[in-house]
Amino acid sequence: MTLDLSWPLLWNGLFWPLIRLTFFISVGLFVGNLIESLQWTRHAARLADPLARRARLKDISAASFSMAFFSGITANTMLSEAHEKGTISDRELVLSNLFNSLPTYFLHLPTIFFIAAPFIGSTAAVYVGLTALAALLRTAAIVLAGRFLLPPVPEGCLPCRLEEAEGTLDKASALRKTWRRFKKRLPKVLYLTTPIYTLFFVLKQAGLFNWLEGLMSGQVAVFSFLPPEALSIVAFSMAAEFTAGLAVASALIDEAGLTATQVVLALMLGNVLSSPVRAFRHQFPYYAGIFKPRMAVKLIACNQLLRATSIALVGAVYALLA
- Indicate if 228 and 304 belong to the same structural domain: yes
pLDDT digits (tens, 9 = 90+) for 279-293: 777 788 778 888 888
Residues 43 and 125 in one domain: yes
Residues 43, 159, single domain; the answer is yes
Is 231 within 8 Å of 266 (Cβ atoms)? yes
Decide if 16 is inside a domain.
no
Look at 184 and 2; give whichever has higher pLDDT: 184
* 238 and 310 together in one domain: yes
pLDDT value of position 209: 53
25 found inside a domain = no
Mean pLDDT within 184-207: 69
Among residues 119, 143, 168, the one where a domain terminates is 168
**Per-residue pLDDT averaged across 127-140, rounded?**
92
For 153-185, how does the pLDDT look when each residue is reduced to its tens digit (9 = 90+)? Answer: 766 554 444 444 444 556 677 677 777 777 776
Q: What is the pLDDT of residue 104?
A: 82
Residue-level pLDDT at 306:
93
| 159 in the same domain as 77 | yes
Bigger pLDDT: 139 vs 166: 139
Domain boundary among 168, 187, 220: 168
Answer yes or no: is 62 within a domain.
yes
Residues 237 and 302 in one domain: yes
163 lies in the same domain as 42: yes
CB of 115 within 8 A of CB of 242?
yes
pLDDT in tens, 205-250: 776 656 655 554 555 555 555 666 666 666 666 655 666 677 667 7
Last residue of one domain, picked from the residues 114, 138, 168: 168
**Claim to verify: residue 163 and residue 217 sit in the same structural domain:** no
pLDDT digits (tens, 9 = 90+) for 55-68: 888 888 888 888 88
Q: Please check whether residues 138 and 59 belong to one and the same domain.
A: yes
Residue 14 lies in a domain: no
So what's the pLDDT on residue 313? 94
Question: Is residue 211, in this structure, part of any structural domain at all?
Answer: yes
* Model pLDDT, residue 167: 47
How many structural domains are present in the chain? 2
| pLDDT, tens only, 77-99 | 889 988 988 889 999 999 999 99
* Structural domain harbouring 162: 38-168
Residue 2 lies in a domain: no
| 6-57 tens-digit pLDDT | 777 777 777 887 787 677 767 766 776 666 666 555 555 566 778 888 888 8
C-alpha–C-alpha distance, residues 309 and 98, integer Å? 13
pLDDT at 45: 56
> What's the confidence (pLDDT) of residue 6?
74
Band (pLDDT 50/70/90 cuts) for residue 134 is very high
pLDDT of residue 159: 42
| Residue 200 covered by a domain | no
Q: Is residue 81 part of a domain?
A: yes
244 and 301 inside one domain:
yes
